[in-house]
Amino acid sequence: MSLAFQRETRQSVFRDPRRDFQTSKAEFEIRFDPITEELTRIFPLHNFRLQRRDWAPLATLTQEKGCPFCPDALKKATPLFPEAMIPTGRLTHGGATVIPNLSPYAPYSGVVIMCREHYLPLAQFPAGVMEDGFSAALAFLEQAQAYDSANARYSTIGWNYMPFAGGSVIHPHLQALAGPEPSNRHKLSMERSHSYYLETGNNAWENLIDQEKVKGDRYLWQEGSLHWLASFAPRGLGDLTLVFEGKSTLRDLAPEDIHYLARGLQRVFRFYDSLNLPSFNLALFPAPEKQPGYWLNARLTGRFTVFDWTSDINSLQLLLGDFYSFLPPENIRAKI
């Protein structure tokens, strides 16, 4: 049994004022995610071009106002973990520091301050900074699991780069979360993968990679265990799917996996920069323990504003639960 790559062309008819109100037709595409079956709408805008965004002035302003993540303020302005969990109060790895979130999203909600620098432009983001950050996040989540396994059963690592992606602080940081229940999409991903395994005896993520390799128009590259794909049913602009072959949990990740993740992200960031795509969201979806038919995967999608003031998130995504993109994933492979 193969995964379904379902796509349908739809049409809308209207009288176009740009053509003296003659009848016109506009086509768009509906796609369904091969694993979760979630719906995406793709309507190419051929003349759409994002304006280049310079975050440097905002970075300067926020640093002058005072940043709690900068070295001079970190020790006195950020909280400490309970001594029973982390005796030193904060966790460090290389140049990264993990602190508790004052506004937690989960029982174990760590903010990973990735480096000393207050601002790092997307196209020049150092791989070493990302390796330190992700390694620190993994160490924190492992510590949370050892400290309170029941309430830290489901974990994830997220990255909201810059304000358009919901990043409330310019200083580079990750979110490392652990709680007793998964997020909605995390749960859906694991449940659909498990159902596919029970029905077919196959790993849905392995089948996804195999089929995308054969098709060839969305598969990007592999380094080590990590596969990169342009998502068949994108959840946003420049949406990519990452799959760690043979890995299920965060504990399965080795240093070389983090190394290849950082190298791949550098490549994607240069691609985003070429599109003037100024922000992104990243999330990892690990299983809590070894799960047959499931490989650890991640999703990366660009974020932007329309006309420099309108959010790219509207009722389609937030309330109806649908996604959309202006960029067909088949175009990404050639561009990246």
Mean pLDDT, residues 109-130 taken together? 98
- pLDDT recorded at residue 314: 93
- pLDDT recorded at residue 1: 59
pTM of full prediction above 0.85: yes
The candidate with the shortest Cα–Cα distance to 162, out of 54, 299, 307, is 54
Name the residue ranges covered by the structural domains of the chain: 56-336
Structure-block tokens of residue 294: 């499931």
What is the secondary structure of 186-249 as a DSSP string? HHHHHHHHHHHHHHHSS-HHHHHHHHHHHH-SSEEEEETTEEEEE-SS-SSEEEEEEEETT--S
Mean pLDDT, residues 101-109 taken together? 96
Backbone φ and ψ of 65, nearest 5°: -75, -20
pLDDT tens, position by position, 252-310: 999 999 999 999 999 999 999 999 999 999 999 999 999 999 999 999 999 999 888 89
- Asked if pLDDT for residue 45 goes beyond 90, the answer is no
- Tokens 């903010």 found at: 111
Rg of the chain in Å (alpha carbons):
21
Cβ(253)–Cβ(238) below 8 Å: no
- pLDDT recorded at residue 260: 98
Q: Name the CATH architecture for the domain at 56-336.
A: 2-Layer Sandwich (3.30)
Long-range contacts of 255-258 (CB under 8 A, 24+ apart): 255/135, 256/224, 257/224, 257/225, 257/226, 258/131, 258/134, 258/135, 258/138
**Dihedral angle sign, alpha carbons of residues 73, 79, 85, 89:** positive
CA distances to 46, 93, 238, 244, 329 from 85, rounded to whole Å, are 53, 17, 39, 29, 44
